Structure formats: C-alpha cells, structure tokens
Structure 1
C-alpha cells in the first residue's frame, strides 16, 4: 500500500462523518480526472480517455465548498488561456469569497512550470477577496498530494 493511500485512509478516518464539496476546473488534458481518481483512493492510470461532460466523486473530508483549478504545468503554451479562463471564472458572483487552490499538475514531467512561474503566468497575485494557494503536484507520482489534502482539511475545519 502506498504512502499516500495510508495517509489518505488515516485522514479519512478522522473526518469520516463530514463532507467537503470540491470543484475541479481546468483546461483539457490538465489531469483533473486522474487527480480525482487518486484523491478518491483509486489508482493512477496512464490510458485515461478524455472526459465528456463531467465526473463526480464524493470525497468526504469536511463540510466546506472549495474550487480547485488544475493546470498542466508542463504545457506552458496553454498557461495564457488558463489565466484568461481562471479570471473569467473568478468574476462570477457565485465564486465570491470561495478559497481557490491552484494545482500545477504533471510536475513529474521535464520542463514543467514551477510554482512561482505558475503564480506569475496565472496572475494569482491579482486575485483578492479570497484565500489563494498554489501547489505543484503530480497525480501520477502522488507528489505533494499530502500537502493538498492538509490544505483541504484545514479549510474544512474552519
């Protein structure tokens, strides 16, 4: 059993009776489905087909609503489009005050954008009136997912 799975099971046992709504948003091929599968306790699969419509899994970890914006950190050419889409989304009244977690997925690939590069490319410093965090992750290697879970759980406890 992988380290991430053990941490996940332990954290899940701490918060088994509460619920957290997480919306994962990102451009095509950013790794949303792969990350969702891994966070829900499943395995990473290489040959995932593109999602048509949406996937929904309930991950019980706390009673709070969060939005996660997932970016393919290895696709630097897509970052301007990701920036535009993110800022359009954040202008929606329904998004007011909701914490934002930006995940730069595919950090296991060479020449991926660093967290600092993502913050600059997505203009995250301009986002106000909400908490904003940014992590580099790899759903495939389960890199930094423990920090992501800790971030989510900390928001669930507030």
Structure 2
C-alpha cells in the first residue's frame, strides 16, 4: 500500500510541479556523448554505437525534472552548428575522451571557440572526462589544466571524470544538471 501511495504522490508532483530543462552535449567525435546520453536515459551501454549525424535528442528524467538532451555530432563538419543548439539552454556539457591525449588540444580549441560566442555567455558548463575506467586517462586536474578551463569566465564551470560504460559519476552529473533546471 505504501508503494501505491508513493507512486501516486510522485505522479501528482510530476503532473503539477514538473520542471523541464534543455541541455546540449558537445565534444569531439568518439568522446562518448551518445553513449553517455543512452546510459543517462536508462538504456544499456553498447560498444558499437554509431557516430551521430547532426544531432540526437533524448529525454532523461531525474526526480521531477525532465532533461531534454541534445546530443550533437562531433565530426568537424558538425561543429559549426554547436553554437546554434547551445543558445538558451540551461547547461552545456562538453565531453572529452580522457584517454585520447592527442585530441585534447583540438578539444581545447573547439571548446574555447564555442565559449567565445556572446550568445552563450553565462550558460553553465560541465566538462566530462569520459572513459575514466581505462588506464592512461587524464585526471580531472590534468583536464582542467590542458583544456585551460580556468580562463573561461562569466559562468559556472565544473569538471568530472566519468565512465559511461561503468556508469561512474553519472549520479553526480545528473545532480549537477538538475541544479540548473530553474535558471
């Protein structure tokens, strides 16, 4: 009986007090953006995820917050559209393959080019070093340094190491996003 009451209470809260937010997820190709969104949405991790062409949209629910995730392609031909999908969102998530040290300078360049756009001023940024379950990954401190995150101003910035495959730190990611659902 208590389970039914809890379910009804949650349903009423969802109907009358639900909050929606938009989040754009960007990063270079093969960083794990689509895998991250799939796992956050409650689906299984798959090794054979196809590269995103243009964008995907998935909805993730956390408590009484519905998060619309815009997963944008990371290939060079899609990077010019990142800014358009980042305008007016509650938060931007930048995913980096923490094991691909050769790609980090390109990721830094793309990240700083994106956040130089006046249309994105003040939008919170969450940087995720994905594949933290693998050896030879960059630490969070190394990512902060190599991506030069301290030079990005006028916004809230956080950086976490995650593993979409092992679901490491994904609860912290959701909690960070929900924090910005009312902004």
* Shorter-normalised TM range: 0.7 to 0.9
Q: 8 Å contact 1:68–1:100 — kept in the other structure? A: yes
**Superposition TM-score, scaled by structure 1 size:** 0.86
**Superposition TM-score, scaled by structure 2 size:** 0.75
Q: 8 Å contact 2:19–2:66 — kept in the other structure? A: yes
Larger of the two Rg values belongs to structure: 2
In the alignment, the residues of structure 2 paired with residue 15 and residue 78 of structure 1 have an alpha-carbon distance, to the nearest angstrom, of: 44
Gaps of 5+ in 1: 1-11
For 1:1-150, list aligned pairs within 5 A: 16=14, 17-60=18-61, 61=65, 65-150=90-175
- Residue 18 and residue 143 in structure 1: after superposition, are their counterparts in 2 closer, same or farther (change >3 A)? same
Structure 1 residue 53, shift from structure 2 partner = 1.5
- Classify the secondary structure of the residue corresponding to 2:175: helix
**Structure of higher RCO (CA pairs closer than 8 Å, 6+ residues apart):** 1
**Structure with the higher strand share, 1 or 2:** 2
Size of the alignment, in residue pairs? Answer: 147
In the alignment, the residues of structure 1 paired with residue 11 and residue 162 of structure 2 have an alpha-carbon distance, to the nearest angstrom, of: 24
- Residue 79 and residue 95 in structure 1: after superposition, are their counterparts in 2 closer, same or farther (change >3 A)? same
